[in-house]
Structure 1
Amino acid sequence: MAKIFITGGLGFIGSHVAELAVAEGHEVAVFDNLSTGHRSNVSAAVTVFEADLRDAGALDSAVGAFRPDLISHQAAQASVPKSFLNPEQDAEVNVLGTLNLLESARRHGVERIVMASTGGAIYGEVPEGTVGRVGGPERPSTPYAVSKLAAEQYLAVYAHHHGLQGTVLRYSNVYGERQNASGEAGVVAIFCQTLLRGAAIRVNGRLTSGDRGCVRDYVYVGDVARANLLALGGHLAPVFDVGTGTGTDARTLAETLMSGVGVTAPIVGAEPRKGDVQRSVLDGAPLLDALGEVTPLGRGLARTFGWYQQTQEAVLS
């Protein structure tokens, strides 16, 4: 079994990676600034270092103290709108923070880093009838996409010059339990919480207000965690697409959620959002081949809604 260090390990995806790693018998430590994460997201078996990725000294101290074999790098500034509002902070976290981690990994003899990246933002607008994939066109059009692509390339440099093994996971739109209901990436969380409030679901248009909304490739967080553990074991390609190959527009997403959980609400149209990619779908074959099966959207949405429902009931009780 290995010692695994997870940045952003108290957050949405990172905590699921930590949970699965512990279940598989690994020794796990997480590094998190608690900007969106919560200590309750991981068990007492997990060592917690509370600090910011941009604090090179604190990060190096944590890596040096834990002495990991493997690192799962999930911490990021992951909001496209925020990357436009504050591109400097986006680069500080995603580029300079990643460099801090790579330097610590080099100094302390880490074997492999698995880095969470973004297929949706890097591939940009994916034309109808096609999918974004490794080796295909890259159309980064946001500060967030540029910073994540730069981080990927820094990892490749460290692999080439310092022998640090690395795997990049290019995520599509990840959803599931513990997701923060903020920003477009949290649309499933937003819809779940909207239903629980008994309010109308708002769907931002793709081209005009009132249309069916932008198309996204929704992948369940449990499948993403499984892909991360395979990557940490060195079983995936150096750059790997984590998506399902199926596009779902926002209105269909809302309808599928309501149908699966037996709760209904009106759907109202809203204006398109600035900077939104209209269609983003990744190649689903790599993930399916690696996992054998992926979680169907309806099943994943039902699990996610059930978690938010239980969480709300716990708060109210």
Structure 2
Amino acid sequence: MKVLVTGGAGFIGSHVCDEFLRNGHEVIALDNLSSGKKENLDPRVRLAVHDIRSPEAAELIRTEKPQVLCHLAAQMDVRRSVEDPGFDADVNIRGMTNLLEAARQSGVKKVIFSSTGGAIYGEQDYFPAREDHPQRPVSPYGVSKAAGELYLGYYRAQYGLPYVALRYANVYGPRQNPHGEAGVVAIFSQRVIAGQGCTIFGEGKQTRDFVFGPDVARANYLAFQSDYVGAANIGTGVETDINRLYELIAQAGGSSLKAAHAPGKPGEQLRSCIDAAHAKKVLGWEPSVQLAEGLRHTIQFFRDQAAGPVRARG
């Protein structure tokens, strides 16, 4: 089948492209390269450089007529969404509806949407959160992802377009861009390898559920294979606070530097952790890489980058 991956040259998107390639599918990556890199892509992936809000992106879907649309391209920085909610909505909502209109007109058979399990629930009533947890996002980013799921429900009801909304926990791993994509693991890893100090915003007691990028890519492929329609959490169900995360990264990177602390940032949750039991039931997915192992792979990626020249796909 032909698969179009928006944000395909980015961190998660490039792993999704790899997963579909490994399974024998034709893959096209749509990316504006604002944070993604061409070097992340396997040479067999065709790259189309367009913004998802553009007429050219919609025309690409109409012309190529992919059977599957994996929609990962997004404004994904929670802090930027708080600073500029209009930009967040423009990319994440207007960009998505631009793609969905083209998808239903061109006969796309399934949409796999990268939603959020960290931001969509807001401050949780219980841990880990299931898919039926109330949605109380505390950032415009979380609001725009919730809106994306509602639009998918509309296109399913109105046009019969099947979808799976994968609600990711905090994704980390090789190829994550510490400059252009949100991700504390990438930021800490790069600085530790460079021998630089790291700053933790707030007391560092805020927790997150960290899930490895290639595991998330596998969830996309299993969603493609499944007949399931709806949302599914993609996480580990394990909480790790930021202080402990830094300790693990510093240990893996051979650093003895202590982290500094700065005032907390608006729009950030205190705790976040999601239950992926439903994904195991309906998709056959569960995480395969634990945090310590994933951090070793990530540190090695940044160490190889620092040594340069690099194979960015490493």
CA-to-aligned-CA distance 1:10-30 (integer Å, 9 cap, x gap): 111111100111111100001
The one-letter amino acid paired with 1:146 is: V
Larger RCO, structures 1/2 (Cα 8 Å, 6+ apart): 2
State which of 199, 205, 215 in structure 2 corresponds to 1:223: 215
> Is 2:139 the counterpart of 1:139?
no
Q: How many residues align?
A: 308
Structure 1 residue runs without a partner (length 5+): 206-210
* Distance of aligned partners of 1:236 and 1:263 in 2 relative to their CA distance in 1, 3 Å threshold: farther
Task: Indicate yes or no: 2:281 matched with 1:282.
Answer: no
Residue in structure 2 matched with residue 258 of structure 1 by the alignment? 250
Cα distance in 2 for partners of 1:122, 1:295 equals 24
Q: Is the 8 A contact 2:236 2:287 kept in 1?
A: no
Using the TM superposition, give the Cα deviation of residue 228 of structure 1 relative to its aligned residue in structure 2, in angstroms. 0.5
Secondary structure of residue in 2 paired with 1:160: helix
CA distance in 2, matches of 1:25, 1:218: 29
Q: How do 1:1-317 residues align onto structure 2 when only pairs under 5 Å count?
A: 2-55=1-54, 57-127=55-125, 130-182=127-179, 185-205=182-202, 211-234=203-226, 236=228, 238-287=230-279, 290-315=284-309
Report the secondary structure of 1:123's partner residue: coil
> Partners of 1:112 and 1:118 in 2: how far apart?
19
Q: Compute the displacement of 1:136 (Å).
A: 1.2
TM-fit CA distance, 1:261: 4.1
TM-score in terms of structure 1 length: 0.92
Letter in 2 for 1:177: P
SS of aligned partner of 1:122 = coil
Q: CA deviation at 1:89?
A: 1.3
- The change in CA–CA distance for 1:117 and 1:124 in structure 2 (over 3 A counts) is same
Partner of 1:208: none
Q: CA deviation at 1:291?
A: 3.0
Whichever residue aligns with residue 313 of structure 1, its letter is A
Per-residue displacement from partner, 1:160-210 (whole Å, max 9, x unpaired)? 1101111101111000111121489310001111111212222222xxxxx
Per-residue displacement from partner, 1:49-96 (whole Å, max 9, x unpaired)?
A: 1110111x2012211232211010000111111112221111111111
Q: Answer with 137-146 or 216-225: which moved more.
A: 137-146
What is the TM-score when the length of structure 2 is the normalising length?
0.93
Could you tell me how far apart the structure 2 residues matched to 1:136 and 1:314 are?
A: 45
Secondary structure in 2 matching 1:120:
coil
CA deviation string 1:113-170 (max 9, x = no partner):
000011111111125x522221112111211111111111011100111011111011
Separation of aligned partners in 2, 1:184 and 1:34: 12
Identity %, equivalent residues: 39
Q: Return the alpha-carbon distance in structure 1 between the equivalents of residues 286 and 81 of structure 2.
A: 35
Let me know the Cα RMSD of the aligned residues: 1.7
Q: Cα distance 1:186–1:292, how it changes in 2: closer, same or farther (>3 A)? A: closer
